[in-house]
Amino acid sequence: MSTRTLLRDAANRAATYLEGIDSRGVAPTPDAISALARFERDLPEHPLDPSAILRELDETGSPGTSTSAGGRYFGFVIGATLPAALAANMLATAWDQNAGLVVISPTTAKLETIALRWLLDALHLPATSAAGFVTGATMANFTCLAAARHALLERAGWNVEEQGLFGAPTLTVVVGDEVHVTLLKALAMLGLGRARVTRVPADAQGRMRADLLPPLDNRTILCLQAGNVNTGDCDPMAELISRARAAGAWVHVDGAFGLWAAAAPKRAALVAGVENADSWALDAHKWLNVPYDSGVAICRDRDALRGATAVSAAYLVQGAEREPCEYTPELSRRARGVDVWAAMSSLGRSGIAELIERNCLQASRFAEGLRAAGYEILSDVVLNQVLVSFGDDETTRRVIAALQADGTCWCGGTVWHGRTAMRISVSSWATTDQDVELSLAAMLRVASWVLATH
């Protein structure tokens, strides 16, 4: 079989998969999951035919997926993939460029520079900021915090990249009580320690209490959050950042999905002042709806980011242009910026704002419909996240399990301020208002059934 025929087959199967999403359950069936056992065989002794490999991947693999590429997946914070981003990703995969160096891949280096400029523009962040395209917000947090560590220790006369942390001046890290676990993981990997952070209490919405901020100094990294994974709410940026800056502290914002509020005029007030921070971690695979994996580490101070991540070796040719590998932990990597460029091209400024706003209105519609049926919404819905309780914890757990088995849509559970809740996250371009009504009807039907039968 020719490569052309094989790629056509792959593209056809991908399109058939996407077209079929609405007519199957959102979660894979138990049978589909059991069938994955068919993959379990030993390494083939001899080459297999590529078209047979693709057929098996599709026939056995496709049914075992969650349809998070469709419009009714509301678990975690999961975006789908915009058609333009998917298609660009497929072509860029065929290019097989190593996006780490300009000399290997002029096209991807150019597109990443442009995608970065557009991101800063859309999010109203300082236009001179530097950034690296990384796997997601976990690595974006890691990269930004490495830059913070570099800058604060450099000011104290210590070169952390050369000398390491043993014997270094002490840094203090301040986080909110609702800090995301991946930010703590980044601190752990950087030798800053998850247990030696100072935690600031949060309010009822999970926002850092500005009135309880400890004294800060120029050896402090203050970590703020835009987009609490449960409530969607954001720390009070303007006040916290101005106090931190006055003290000479470094402000890092974990804005995995919430930072996108800055791109939607009706939601931007939630993160007002965020542009005054020093670094920002952003996901593209969540709300920008590009394929996994894709995040961006953005840093106001170019030298701090390069100081933490740049390498030099005689064979790595340096030119006049931005070298992508000088801004990321990786050297060789895929061209994530191409997907970001394609997604932003296909949406435009107005499309990005519309996507964010539409998902937020859809979240509000879920809250309104559930509340009208007598169920309790556990926090104010200010962005794209909804927390609902169907009664006691056991009842809520039963409703979540029954909803997942029903297959119309998929939501996960969480514990919010001691209570079990179902969490609805609306983060997909593919979610139509009709998807919301269908899913809401399924939630109400399943909840009534659970309440009637237990």
Ligand X SMILES: *Cc1c(COP(=O)(O)O)cnc(C)c1O
User: Using CB under 6 A as the criterion, which residues of the chain lie in contact with ligand X when the complex forms?
Assistant: 77, 136-138, 180, 182, 225, 227, 229, 254, 256-257, 283, 295
- Distance in Å, CB of 139 to ligand X, minimum: 7
| Cα 421-79-6 angle, rounded to 5 deg | 135
Q: Which is nearer to ligand X, 336 or 398 (CB)?
A: 336
| 295 or 307: CB nearest ligand X | 295
Find the shortest distance in angstroms from Cβ 12 to ligand X. Answer: 30
Instruction: Name the nearest CA neighbour of 379 among 404, 331, 416.
Output: 416
Q: How far is the CB of 29 from ligand X (least distance, A)?
A: 26
Contact criterion met (CB below 8 Å) for 322 and 135: no
CA atoms within 13 A on the CB side of 114: 15
Task: Residue 34: count other Cβ atoms within 10 Å of its Cβ.
Answer: 11
Tokens for 432, please give them: 């139509």
Closest separation in Å from C-beta 283 to ligand X: 5
Encoded tokens for 208: 């850092």
- Are the CB atoms for 99 and 89 separated by under 8 Å? no
3-state secondary structure of 421: strand
Rounded to a whole number of angstroms, the minimum distance from the CB of residue 138 to ligand X is: 3
Cβ density class 3-23: b for 16+ within 10 Å, e for less = eeeeeebbeebbeebbeebee
d(CA 226, CA 242): 16
Query: 382 is written with which tokens?
Result: 């200010």
State in angstroms the smallest separation of the CB of 76 from ligand X.
7
Least distance from C-beta 62 to ligand X, angstroms?
23
Look-up of token digits 């301040």: 174
Q: 76: phi > 0 → left, psi -120 to 50 → alpha, else beta; which?
A: left
Place of tokens 């068919």: 38
The two three-digit tokens of residue 158, written as one number: 């210590």
When CB distances to ligand X are compared, the closest residue is 136
Minimum Å distance from CB 414 to ligand X? 12
Nearer to ligand X, 293 or 303 (CB): 293
Is the CB of 230 or the CB of 276 nearer to ligand X? 230
Q: Smallest distance, Å, CB 425 to ligand X?
A: 9
Choose between 424 and 447: whose C-beta lies nearer to ligand X.
424
Paired tokens of 347:
């949406």
Backbone angles phi, psi at 439, to 5 degrees: -70, -40
- On whether the CB atoms of residues 394 and 238 are closer than 8 A, the answer is no
